[in-house]
Amino acid sequence: DPAWASRIAGAFAADPELACVSGPVLAARLASPEERAADVALAWNKGFTPRRFTLADPPADSPIFPFAPGLFGIGANLAVRAGAARAVGGFDEAMGPGTPTHGGEDCEFLVRMILAGHVLGYAPGAYLWHHHRPDQAALTAQLEGYAIGLGSFLAKVALSPQGRSVALRRLPAAVARLRHISDREAGAG
């Protein structure tokens, strides 16, 4: 969207505490069944309500905060203050596209930002358009890559002393959430 940069800048200006701003990633088209499936499976649109995320004030709707992949947005629509990015060591170059992990670098980076005490924002007006994979083979490869990236993201969190500590405190809520999902899925069958 041509107004993306000004909307991102506006979000930073409205809240000087924000270290990072993300926004919705909307489907540029939904012509094929694969594009429609990708739009549902990827869930890159986090709604149209502005949000603010801090470790000190976890959102009530995310029992596994800050470890819910994509809760804060995704790397496709993300702006970060340079000083904040440098303070946490930037993106892990061993993760993401072109690496064996295929992805996960954005989730891992955003969790490090939160764990370091930074404030993240979601600005629904700062949207952009994405062309989803138009065929099954490309969509399958993308989703498989994201699954590998998710595994690498979770492994890195588990290996981080601070990440592990916060994750262990969230474990009861995570187990309850998984039970809820399992019960819901069992009832649907």
Model confidence over 107-149: pLDDT tens digits?
999 999 999 999 999 999 999 999 988 889 988 898 899 899 9
What's the rounded Cα separation, in Å, for the pair 176 and 180?
Answer: 6
- Sequence-ordered strand ranges (E) for 23-174: 25-27, 51-53, 78-80, 119-122, 128-130
pLDDT for the residue 188: 63
pLDDT for the residue 2: 85
Q: Which domain holds residue 84?
A: 4-188
Q: How confident is the model at residue 189 (pLDDT cuts 50, 70, 90)?
A: low
C-beta neighbour count of 156 within 10 angstroms:
20
- 108 by Cβ neighbours in 10 Å (0-12 / 13-18 / 19+) ranks as buried
Q: How confident is the model at residue 71 (pLDDT cuts 50, 70, 90)?
A: confident
Number of domains in the chain: 1
Side-chain-side CA neighbours of 172 within 13 Å: the count stands at 1
- Answer whether residue 20 shows pLDDT above 80: yes
